[in-house]
Structure 1
Amino acid sequence: MSTLAIHGGAPVRTKAFPPYRTFDHNEERAVVEVIRQGIISDFIGAPGDYFLGGPRVRLLEDMWREHTGARHAVAMNSATSVIIAAMAAFGVGPGDEVIVTPYSHVISATAPLLYDAVPIFADSEPDFLCMSPESIRAKISPRTKAIIVVDLFGQSADMEAIMAIAREHNLLVLSDSAHITKATINGRMAGTMAHIGSYSFNGHKTIQCGEGGMAVTDDDDLAMRLRLVRNHAENCVDGYEVQNIENMVGYNFRLTELEAAVAVEQTRKLHGLVDARRELCAHLNRRLQGVPGLTPPQVRPGCTHDYLLYPMLLDPAVVGVSRDEFLRRLDAEGIRSRKVGEEHVPPVTGFVKPIHLLPVFTRRIFRPKGHPWQASYYGHPTQYGLGACPVVENFWQERLFTINAVYPPLTTADMDDIADAVIKVAELSRKG
């Protein structure tokens, strides 16, 4: 370990990491059965037997009701669709504010804009990395309608504290649990403490069907509103007992039988797929705990972690180089932060640019004429840009990187390569 590869030494690893592939003959058989039956989607956008979709969509929903313990599960064609539908179901509209995170997929913050509401950004916790209840509380105003909470990287946000705040201020809460597959908080499935929970079956998630998502809720009215928005609600409200039809102009958010068939088989595998990640990450924890300047992911008391990603915090002052230079040196050791060849996911990366720094917010341009920010029904100052969420900005600019290669079929030997490279770069960088 005398010389870094970037300075001419031998790299820790020379072979690529295999991609994350979880499909086998079960998914193949399920898709072939759909094709042979000849009905690829079985929804009709009007009241009747097919308003709720085909048999595989309904089976998938049954499985997620059982898995989560929720009263209702509503499958959609993406978790993005679920988040948009949740804003409709909540009755979010012009003049409302929705508290959101800046550190997630963009829809976690932009969905309120689609209903002419204004996103207000809350900062993150410095240790567990999810939304900070204290920051959420500080951002509440008389205009606040709802909160979109994100369970980041694979563990739950502090939902007991957040739901207590929501009850105090009569706010609705969506849990964006796209990074969650079976993680729990105090014995409950993450995502189920909110008024609506959202899960993802996107191709980059632990279980996948290409594109797909699931909403869960214990509220009968919210469940019906979600189903209406999913399935062309403007054709349906005459045939259903929905007292409040605000926002009930719907979309086509329907999941096909092909995708549902794959998602059913993936759901049957979810425990094994998550447990494999947990074993690999437990090995990384053992190897990386105590390395000066590096902090492995912290697990919230009472929580379990699914490790969609393995986030690490770096202290440049201790390690001796910037986070970006640290990643450049890992690149040279064969733990690359860029896609190489047929690799599906780079084994190490930073994370997304904070959403509150994107032009839609810094320039306040979405609808024509400056809406919703400049609309007569709103017209209140909002804080976007650098300085609005200093913890998240520090993560993005200086401290956070993620290890993505924590999935089957990788082994503890592969984790040892990652750990050896991280330790090598940390130790030799610290020595100058």
Structure 2
Amino acid sequence: MTVELAIHGGPKTRTAPFPAHVTVGAEEKARVCEVIDSGVLSNYLGAPHENFYGGRYVRECEAAWADSIGAAHALAFNSNTAGLIAAMGAIGVGPADEVIVTAYSMSISAIAPLFYGATPIFADVEPDTFCLDPASVEAAITPRCKAIIAVDLFGQPFNGPALRALADRHGLKIIEDCAQAPGGQLHGTPTGLLGDIGVFSLNYHKHIHAGEGGIVVTQDAALAQRLAMIRNHGECVAGAWGIEDLRNMIGHNMRMTEIEAAIAKVQLGKLDLLLAERRDRVAYFEEQMRGFAPLTLPKVREGARHVYYAHACLWDTTCGLARNAFVEAVRAELPVFALREKEGVKLGAGYVRPIYLLPAFEHRIALQGAANGLTHSWQSYAPGLCPVVEDLHFNRLISHEFIVPSMERSDIDDVVRAFAKVWDARAALSQGVAA
């Protein structure tokens, strides 16, 4: 039977949009109305006062988050980005210091040290979990190194024991960027607590969200105090509170509003169910795809609970079909998600471009003058720096979001059919004709 691929003008496998992934509802609306009725949308003061730490809903959200993972301290921020920047300040990094970072994540996972003039040093990733490779990290450690930013990419916890051993041996702090991994675990330890400071995201497309926002957790009271000061104009309270270590204690406004905090607390209560539904979709998709020759399904680290922010697979580059050609053809067969129409079909060849290939690194221009950490780097920010990352991004990795809780089995069946249709007609991709 002749099959004409959609990319060549044939009929799509599916035209109706996939159902919108919406996690907010009546409970969040009721809490927002409660905040509005209170008349207090934010209750911070940048002064030595009990409200330096925020209002009722912020504190309730922080307490709930700390309790949910067993953290001694949780602090609400206006974004994961702000939380990572504050974490750099809290541990005291500055000009001429180095921080080891991943090349494969959202840019802030590597950019954060630059806000204090420190130098990002890139390490490569593990080829099957996509998190920092401890061997590459160890090779990057110098006497100037002060910390490691480890990312739980796609919801997979990083190799906590191996990096902890390295950090302890060299006197380094670990900042865990767990934006994509709320509810994850490694050997029973929750994500967020695998390092010295953990940073979660409440951005609108994360597992749970408040539109924007972030939560920073730590077991260290001194770090928690410094994080709170950086969040809210810490220079205004340092004298009154007798703060002696003034490194990086010039504060920002990184505060979460009462409305965001109220939403975030309700969302946190839904996390376990949403993760269970996501794992159910992953299991169903993987069962349907077993035996699909060119694709290797995600590896889960031993002892880990993977929470699948995205489903990241590996393409067999020896299968006779280029990954990019396959992905573009499948994208042509499938629709967008409702409410996310402008983002395109949620299937990607690779993830994000390796961070060190961004213009800021290419031209070594960030903060100007002596505080520009890029001027201190011994690394060449050029192709070839992290071979595994580059191979994943340009040749092998396929990531998609067809495992979100809004996807029914019939929706996933359409995705599987699209994959099979393109693979079965793969000869047509090189010839540009029906097969």
Same fold (TM over 0.5): yes
**Per the alignment, do residues 221 and 2 of structure 1 end up closer, same or farther by CA in structure 2, a change over 3 Å counting?**
farther
1:338-353 aligned at under 5 Å gives the runs 342=341, 346-350=345-349, 351-353=351-353
CA distance in 1, matches of 2:361, 2:135: 23
Partner deviation per Cα, 1:284-307 (whole Å, 9 max, x = no partner): 111122311211111111001111
Does the alignment pair 1:331 with 2:328? no
Does the alignment pair 1:366 with 2:363? no
CA distance in 2, matches of 1:306, 1:174: 19
Match among 390, 402, 406 for residue 405 of structure 1:
402
CA distance in 2, matches of 1:368, 1:82: 23
CA distance in 2, matches of 1:325, 1:174: 37
CA distance in 2, matches of 1:334, 1:98: 41
Unaligned runs of 5+ in 2: 431-435
1:129-278 aligned at under 5 Å gives the runs 129-278=130-279
Q: Quote the residue 1:414 is aligned against.
A: 411
Partner deviation per Cα, 1:112-133 (whole Å, 9 max, x = no partner): 1111111000111001111111
CA distance in 2, matches of 1:398, 1:370: 38
Q: Quote the residue 2:118 is aligned against.
A: 117
Quote how far apart the aligned CAs of 1:11 are. 2.9
Q: Secondary structure at the match of 1:239?
A: coil
Q: Matched residues, percent identical?
A: 42
**Residue identity matched to 1:119:** P
Quote how far apart the aligned CAs of 1:373 are. 5.1
Counterpart contact for 2:84–2:199, Cα < 8 Å: yes
Counterpart contact for 1:339–1:346, Cα < 8 Å: no
**Residue identity matched to 2:145:** T
Q: Quote the residue 2:426 is aligned against.
A: 429
Return the TM-score normalized by structure 1: 0.94
CA distance in 1, matches of 2:133, 2:208: 28
Counterpart contact for 1:346–1:405, Cα < 8 Å: no
Partner deviation per Cα, 1:256-315 (whole Å, 9 max, x = no partner): 001001111111111111111110011111112231121111111100111111111112
Q: How many residues align?
A: 427
Q: Which runs of 4+ in 1 moved over 6 A?
A: 338-341
Counterpart contact for 1:349–1:404, Cα < 8 Å: no
**Residue identity matched to 1:49:** E
Return the TM-score normalized by structure 2: 0.94
Counterpart contact for 2:18–2:338, Cα < 8 Å: no
Counterpart contact for 2:20–2:339, Cα < 8 Å: no
Partner deviation per Cα, 1:2-35 (whole Å, 9 max, x = no partner): 5233345543222111222111111111111111
Quote how far apart the aligned CAs of 1:410 are. 1.4
Q: Secondary structure at the match of 1:317?
A: coil
Q: Quote the residue 2:383 is aligned against.
A: 386
CA distance in 1, matches of 2:366, 2:21: 36
Counterpart contact for 2:356–2:362, Cα < 8 Å: yes
Q: Quote the residue 1:317 is aligned against.
A: 318
**Residue identity matched to 2:208:** I
Quote how far apart the aligned CAs of 1:428 are. 3.0
CA distance in 2, matches of 1:228, 1:217: 15
Quote how far apart the aligned CAs of 1:430 are. 6.6
Counterpart contact for 2:86–2:231, Cα < 8 Å: yes
Q: Secondary structure at the match of 1:216?
A: strand
Q: Quote the residue 2:14 is aligned against.
A: 13
CA distance in 2, matches of 1:154, 1:420: 26
**Residue identity matched to 2:276:** D
Q: Quote the residue 1:105 is aligned against.
A: 106
Quote how far apart the aligned CAs of 1:246 are. 0.4
Quote how far apart the aligned CAs of 1:365 are. 1.1
**Per the alignment, do residues 374 and 73 of structure 1 end up closer, same or farther by CA in structure 2, a change over 3 Å counting?**
closer
Partner deviation per Cα, 1:392-420 (whole Å, 9 max, x = no partner): 11111111121113212211111111122
**Residue identity matched to 1:419:** V
Counterpart contact for 2:95–2:118, Cα < 8 Å: yes
Counterpart contact for 1:156–1:303, Cα < 8 Å: yes
CA distance in 2, matches of 1:236, 1:369: 29
Quote how far apart the aligned CAs of 1:63 are. 0.9
Superposed CA RMSD in Å reads 2.0
CA distance in 1, matches of 2:416, 2:382: 35
Quote how far apart the aligned CAs of 1:321 are. 2.3
Q: Quote the residue 1:62 is aligned against.
A: 63
Q: Secondary structure at the match of 2:248?
A: coil
**Residue identity matched to 2:332:** A
